[in-house]
Structure 1
Amino acid sequence: MNKRLRIVINPTETQPTSQALAVAAVLALEWAAPYVNSVIGNDGQFVIQPDLDAVGGLLRLDPERSERLKLAGRDAITEGESEIRIFEDDKGNWNVPDQLDSWWATGVALAATEFVGVTVTGIALAETLAISNRSEQRSIELLEKSQRWALEQIDDLLRVTAANNPRVLADLLLSLSSEVETLADTHAILRARYQTDIETISEHL
């Protein structure tokens, strides 16, 4: 099995605001390059810090994953059905118990009925979490910005890998080429099998 490329996202601080931004960075990278293993930590051959431009990565969460994070976050800090209201201080701390890891902190933020940010990152998180319509202009802008940031990190990763371990990069490219060919073959088979249905549906559109 080919070794996957790996990016380690190291939060700039231990405060929950920084932890949630790290998750946004992971989500942005997962979307931009699913062939790269993106994890939160502090040790690895390619370690980066999350940037404010990555905050739009939170909008990549699908409903099912978002709901799981909300439940985990709620279980981590509350009992029963009490509402969660987050008030950030000027250091990025929240009025919630300490020792929340990155994903729990994100779950708490998602589950909150109110998020009042004070720091630049906290305000950006609050704005992003408040977006309910992914097709609105601000959402599109945040998604595009996070995508550009993620692609820049991937470019750097590929450049470093090509210089230090070109064999890994060659194996990855070969693997991706094989996957593309397999997908193309599968598409051709399915289209041939259901061509009649496709034509029938097209006639009624």
Structure 2
Amino acid sequence: MNEQLRIIVNPVDSQPTSQVLAVAAVLALEWAAPYVHSVIGVDGQFVIRPEIDAAGGLLRLDAERSERLRLAGRDAVSEDESEIHIVEDDKGDWNIPTRLDSWWATGAALSATAFVGTTATGVAIAEILAISNRTEQRCIELLEKSQQWAMRQIDDLLRITADENPRLLADLMSSLSSQAEALAEAHALLRGRYQADIETISEHL
């Protein structure tokens, strides 16, 4: 399939707080619909602006990806191992002279020892960065909120695509159906091959 469903996330402005929110939006969209190509940009057939509800998407970062972003962010804003303390002003700018793109800004925020938010989005980011236990209720609430936001965007994308390019949507559904069938067959094969082991393990749990 040459064509692909795409969502372009356009940051509200150039301030680093808005850049981090754009990354959170992309992460939320990737989780909600991995079959949609979500990127940060300006132009495209389906362009959206991230909203504060998407901030919880930052919690979708796995440990490996988060660490890579931390290292990149630290390299972008600091030449030594000194602690990074980020203070946001009322316009969403930070007390960091370096101009950062979306992913570097996110890495800098992740690597910061302290992040003090002033705007509503900045405060939301600070709260998310302070979460250490992904099972706590507030974390679950933020994840659900970002998921709901992402699904609204996906619903809009699918509705518009169905009107403007129904063939693309039909091809996508066919591809996803084939993938699901292949996974089901692989699961059945593995379960049949290792059924005895599964039952033995279950007896000892």
- Partner in structure 2 of residue 162 of structure 1: 162
**AA at the equivalent of 1:166:** P
**C-alpha distance in structure 2 between counterparts of 1:120 and 1:203, whole Å:** 51
Residues 9, 25 of structure 1: 8 Å contact kept: yes
Residues 77, 98 of structure 2: 8 Å contact kept: no
Residues 12, 49 of structure 1: 8 Å contact kept: yes
Residues 2, 175 of structure 1: 8 Å contact kept: no
**C-alpha distance in structure 2 between counterparts of 1:94 and 1:43, whole Å:** 27
TM-score (norm 2): 0.98
Shift of 1:2: 4.6
- Residues 98-154 of structure 1: CA distance to partner in whole angstroms, max 9, x if unpaired? 420000000000000000011111111101111011111110110000000000000
**C-alpha distance in structure 1 between counterparts of 2:191 and 2:67, whole Å:** 35
Task: Could you tell me which runs of 5 or more consecutive residues in structure 2 were left unpaired when the two chains were aligned.
Answer: none
Residues 33, 154 of structure 1: 8 Å contact kept: yes
Aligned length: 205
- Asked whether 1:111 is paired with 2:128, we answer no
- Partner in structure 1 of residue 143 of structure 2: 143
- Partner in structure 2 of residue 172 of structure 1: 172
**C-alpha distance in structure 1 between counterparts of 2:142 and 2:192, whole Å:** 40
**C-alpha distance in structure 2 between counterparts of 1:99 and 1:26, whole Å:** 21
Task: Specify the SS of the correspondent of 2:159.
Answer: helix
Runs of 4+ in 1 over 2 A off after TM superposition: none
**AA at the equivalent of 2:184:** A
- Residues 81-107 of structure 1: CA distance to partner in whole angstroms, max 9, x if unpaired? 110000001110001124200000000
Stretch moving more, 97-106 or 27-36: 97-106
- Partner in structure 2 of residue 45 of structure 1: 45
Shift of 1:31: 0.4
- Residues 25-62 of structure 1: CA distance to partner in whole angstroms, max 9, x if unpaired? 00000000000000000010000000000000000000
**C-alpha distance in structure 2 between counterparts of 1:88 and 1:203, whole Å:** 55
- Partner in structure 1 of residue 21 of structure 2: 21
- Partner in structure 2 of residue 153 of structure 1: 153
Shift of 1:204: 1.6
- Residues 4-38 of structure 1: CA distance to partner in whole angstroms, max 9, x if unpaired? 20000000000000000000000000000000000
Identity in percent: 75
Task: Specify the SS of the correspondent of 1:189.
Answer: helix
**C-alpha distance in structure 2 between counterparts of 1:151 and 1:175, whole Å:** 20
CA RMSD of aligned residues (A): 0.7
Task: Specify the SS of the correspondent of 2:7.
Answer: strand
TM-score (norm 1): 0.98
Shift of 1:3: 2.3
**AA at the equivalent of 1:81:** E
- Residues 146-189 of structure 1: CA distance to partner in whole angstroms, max 9, x if unpaired? 00000000000000000000000000000000000000000000
